[in-house]
Amino acid sequence: MIDYHLHLWNHEESSVWYRLDQVAQYCEEAQRQGVSELALTEHLYRFVELRATVGDFWTRGAHEPTSTLMAEYFDFHSRNSLEEYVTFVQLAKSEGLPVKIGMEVDYYRDQMDDVTRLLGQYPFDVLIGSVHWLDTWQFDDIDNAVQMHQWRMRDVDESWRQYTLAFEELAATRCVDVLAHPDVIKVAGFHASEPEPLWDRMADAAVAAQVSVECSSSGWFKPVAEQYPSAGLLDRLVARGVTFTTASDAHRRERVGAKADELATLLEARGVTELATYEQRRRVMVDLRSAP
């Protein structure tokens, strides 16, 4: 098994730190969960190089009630060096720890070419792509009352349609290798009335971009209380021959590799026997249970 979505720092931390012993502890916890390879995938928005690349994009939606929150979010998080992060993960690899150099890349509308050029300057093994906001609305910030109130002010079906469009556009950029938590829009428990056509679009987008899709246990720990992707979306992805990674989206040691066995069982029940691993952004398929 693999865990290809891990963070070194909690969202409550701003300026970050780097410790080999923490990564070693992650690897030890992963091994206890039957996971033998990790990808460290910190959020790209934590780094000043990304802020310099995309600028204050939230000003385009300055009329939104959440635009001020987005500005505050970036002011808090975007304080760290991408060069130092990559150098640190390279060191962890050189020390023999079973980790890959990764990054979680958010979708920035009309700016992904610039993001792609930025990322191309670094020796990443795997890039995972996410949609965490629509314009300036961080729909998955379940601990923020203002963001969650938006769910009661907006049309849920329209929010799902907007998310699906962003997901399609992110996939089409081919900036990333893996699409993370593909239906994270459901995290707070708000579901589209007819999700099937949207699931079809998401699955088609993954196929067209020739990317893998993440099967993640993190949703089991959220209000929605189910894995990403939902069973219906997972069935569509499998039917179209999409390849998969598995992930916990952990932000602390105790959650590394969480429910890895349950994810394996979900995939095996649908005839999936291999996982996608990455080295220098090249995909290598390996046996699901013994990966890598």
CATH of the domain at 154: 3.20.20.140
Query: How many Cβ atoms from other residues are within 10 Å of residue 84's Cβ?
Result: 11
Residue 221, pLDDT > 70, answer yes
* Residue 78, in any domain of the structure: yes
* Model pLDDT, residue 113: 97
User: What integer is the mean pLDDT of 86-106?
Assistant: 97
User: What integer is the mean pLDDT of 27-37?
Assistant: 97
**What confidence category does residue 141 fall into, taking pLDDT thresholds of 50, 70 and 90?**
very high
Q: Which residues are 128's β-sheet partners?
A: 104, 178
Please tell me the total count of domains within the chain: 1
pTM over 0.75: yes
- Please enumerate in sequence order all residues whose Cβ is within 8 A of that of 284, keeping only pairs 6 or more positions apart, or say none: 276, 277, 278, 292
User: What integer is the mean pLDDT of 9-32?
Assistant: 92
Q: Where are the alpha helices (DSSP H) in 140-259?
A: 145-153, 156-173, 196-209, 231-239
Q: Which helix (H) or strand (E) holds 92?
A: helix 82-94
* Residue 292, in any domain of the structure: no
Average pLDDT of the chain is 96
Domain housing 73: 2-287
Closest to 109 (Cα-Cα) out of 135, 127, 132: 135
pLDDT tens-digit series, residues 100-138: 999 999 999 999 999 999 999 999 999 999 999 999 999
Q: Determine the Cα–Cα distance for residues 155 and 151; give it in Å rounded to an integer.
A: 8
Residue 63, pLDDT > 90, answer no
* Residue 281, in any domain of the structure: yes
